[in-house]
Chain A
Amino acid sequence: MSISNIIEIGRRSLFAQQSAINTTGRNIANVNTVGYSRQRLNLRQDLAGVSYLGSFGQEATTQIRQSFTDMQIWRENSTLGKFSTDASSLAQIQDVFAEPTDSGIANLMSEFWNSWNDLSNDPDSETAKIVVRDKAIQLSNGFNRVHDELLNHHNQIHLEMEDKVVAINDAIEQIASLNQQILNTDDLSLKDTRALMVDELSQMVDISVAETANGELNIAIGGMVVVSGQEVNKIKAQSTNSDGIWNTQIELEDTPQKINISSGELGSLLKLQNEIIPNTITELNTLAKSFADKVNEVHTNNTNGVSFFNTNVTSAGDIAINSDFMNNPDLVGQVEEGGDSSFALEMFNLQNENVIDGKTFGEFYTGIITTIGSKVNEANYLTEAQSMVLNKLEIDRMSVSGVSLDEEMTHMIQYEQAYNAAAKLVSTVDEMLSSILNIV
């Protein structure tokens, strides 16, 4: 063995070990870094130089990632994003109704009916008439408040949805940019950064991800490719507004190609904005209009054509009592000369009549609340279940990609023992050689 060969062995050996120290050191330093994937040093034979020693190429260090788990996480992430957004937004809608409390519509309706019962017991009582008027004002305000708050919530969700589209476009631009950087550099941390960006994107919208042979990630949303290598195809929210109600479709920015978004935070926001809140407002409007019409019908027929609520109620937002009652509460339930003041009892009994879709006012309103309530319960349950699924996948991912100090330590001790055992054999071979060399 020539001196130059020994020096070459030493140089490469030290280089190998220094690189291994750096890799393990990087693993240890990033033990608490979110999204960091454990790196491994791949030693291999050098075909070009000294044949019996390892050297390093561009792929000497590799990340320990399991793409199958990554794909599963990205898919389940969007489901969790949808359920958790459903749960928080629906809970806010549920809070708007404030049921069951004194200020909830159910209680206000009940108090309104009871006030008519009191009036029927003393039809000429001005106090009883004032109570009926005030309970009607409270009920109208209750309808108005819930209607306006639902609309506000609807508008907030619309703004949040537009912000989400901007965030999605930012994410896909960054992923495309990282695709390019990863092609041009050996920095493995860029792959972790890109995986984190895909994690975030998958929570915002349901995506499908495919990795190309050269390591680029292609991403599609609703079947439409938005990242193809370094190319980006942004999305946009195409919205229309009718009577304060937004309706939004997601399209590709450059071509009016509609994208079906079914999951992720954006999927949840779209469904809330386009379906759930508008449907809830429509049902509330139906209740308020039917309520006003029916009460007006009974009141008008038994008084001198005086309507109880305003006659042009179109929604829960504009229901109000006859403004004449404000200055003249006597007009409430004031019968025509010779009329029968017992109609107050008829008004009281309206609460038991099936007047909307075969249901009483109370049953119809309970239906609205129950629908929202069951959706909240379902979303909470699904969020919890989905979190467990995702948690399991995260653990799987960490078991592959995560850095374990214990594991690194175990490896080192295992190496030390193996090297020491091998070193003892070197001495034995030396002894054997010295014996046989004596006779050669």
Chain B
Amino acid sequence: MAEKNIDGILQRLIRILSQEIVTYTKLLTSLEEKQQAIIQGKVDEMQHIAEKEQSILSDAKLTENERNLAISNLRNNSNSMKDVENLTQLIAVVETKYHSRLTEIQESLKNILEKVALKNEQNKFLLNHSIHFVQTMIKDLLSSNENMNDLYAENGKRIDPKYLALLDRRG
């Protein structure tokens, strides 16, 4: 197994992981903005943020593929790294000169990913409540006129409440 390219692959992996830190930092900012939009009920802003988020996630997916490729290359080109599955294992087997950089990246990634996970979980919670809320509202709106049991037509006959619903459901 040729080990001559390991330095190049490691340097490329470090660049990719650094790029992932930038991408997830952008995602965190976007998630924070989205949370405010959900709380304040700013639908237009929420849609705008969603478009931005999709773009960020698309970038993240590309970087993920590059990262997987780099790790695969490491496994294939180094006996010591053939069983590496994560950064902790990688740091344990790489040369000392890469230790501090990889450890630094690992800490940064852990930190940012925890924040992203937390914010995403919060948004999930808020969105579930919001969806439940609007569905309740829609149900209320659809049945609002049905509560008017005391309406009478000009001929003195009581109007069947089903004909008073916001949406015509007679069909």
Q: Let me know if A408 is at the binding interface, CB within 8 A.
A: yes
Residues of chain A contacted by B20 (CB below 8 angstroms): 436
Tell me, yes or no, whether B104 is within 8 Å of chain A by CB: no
Cβ of B9 under 8 Å from chain A:
no
A420 to B133, CA, bound (A): 12
Q: Is B71 an interface residue (CB 8 A)?
A: yes
A159 to chain B, nearest CB (A): 38
Question: Is B136 close to A, CB under 8 A?
Answer: yes
Q: Does B144 count as interface, using CB distance less than 8 angstroms?
A: yes
On chain A, the residues within 8 Å of B53 by CB distance are: 425, 429
Given contacts A21-B133, A426-B124, A438-B85, contact A418 B118 (CB under 8 A): no
Which candidate, B60-68, B75-83, B93-101, B155-163, is the interface stretch facing chain A?
B60-68
Residues of A within 8 A of B40 (CB): 43-44, 54
CB distance from B134 to the nearest CB of A (A): 4
- List chain B residues, Cβ under 8 A from A48: none
Contact with B along A137-174 (1 / 0, CB 8 A): 00000000000000000000000000000000000000
CB neighbours of A432 from chain B (8 A): 57, 60-61, 64
Tell me the complex Cα distance, A266–B61, Å: 76
- Verify if A124 is at the interface (C-beta below 8 Å from B): no
Chain B interface mostly helix, strand, loop or mixed?
helix
Which residues of B have CB within 8 Å of A423?
A: 124, 127-128, 131
For A17, A25, A43, A436, which residue has the most chain B Cβ atoms within 10 angstroms? A436
Interface hub of A16, A413, A419, A420 (most chain B Cβ within 10 A): A419
Total number of residue pairs linking A and B with CB closer than 8 Å: 142
Given the complex of chains A and B, what is the CA–CA distance between A417 and B20 in angstroms? Answer: 30
Tell me the A residues contacting B by CB distance below 8 Å.
1, 6, 9-10, 13-14, 16-17, 20-21, 24-25, 28, 41, 43-45, 52-54, 405-406, 408-409, 412-416, 418-423, 425-426, 428-430, 432-433, 435-440
Please determine whether A440 and B133 come into contact, CB atoms closer than 8 angstroms: no
Could you tell me if A422 and B50 are in contact, using CB atoms closer than 8 angstroms?
yes
Q: How many residues of B contact A (CB 8 A)?
A: 57
The residue on B at minimum CB distance from A414 is B43
Is there contact, CB below 8 Å, between B125 and A438?
no
A28 closest partner in B (C-beta) = B144
Closest to B90 in A: A439
State the B residues within 8 Å of A (CB): 20, 24, 27, 31-32, 34-36, 38-41, 43, 46-47, 50, 53-54, 57, 60-61, 64, 67, 71, 85-87, 106, 109-110, 113, 116-118, 120-138, 140-141, 144, 166
Are the C-beta atoms of B46 and A24 separated by less than 8 Å?
no
Residue from the set B20, B138, B141 with the largest chain A CB neighbour count within 10 Å:
B141
* Contact partners of B140 in chain A: CB under 8 A: 21, 24-25, 28
Q: Contact: A413 with B127, CB < 8 Å?
A: no
**B57 close to A428 (CB less than 8 A):** yes
CA A45 to CA B113, docked complex, whole Å: 25
Chain A residue nearest to B105 in the complex (CB): A440
Q: Is the beta-carbon distance between B122 and A405 smaller than 8 angstroms?
A: no
Within the complex, the shortest CB–CB distance from A16 to chain B, in Å, comes to 7
12 A-B pairs besides A17-B129, A426-B120 with CB distance below 8 A are A6-B122, A13-B129, A24-B137, A28-B144, A54-B39, A406-B166, A408-B137, A409-B141, A412-B134, A421-B46, A430-B120, A432-B60
Do residues A21 and B131 form an inter-chain contact, with CB atoms below 8 A? no
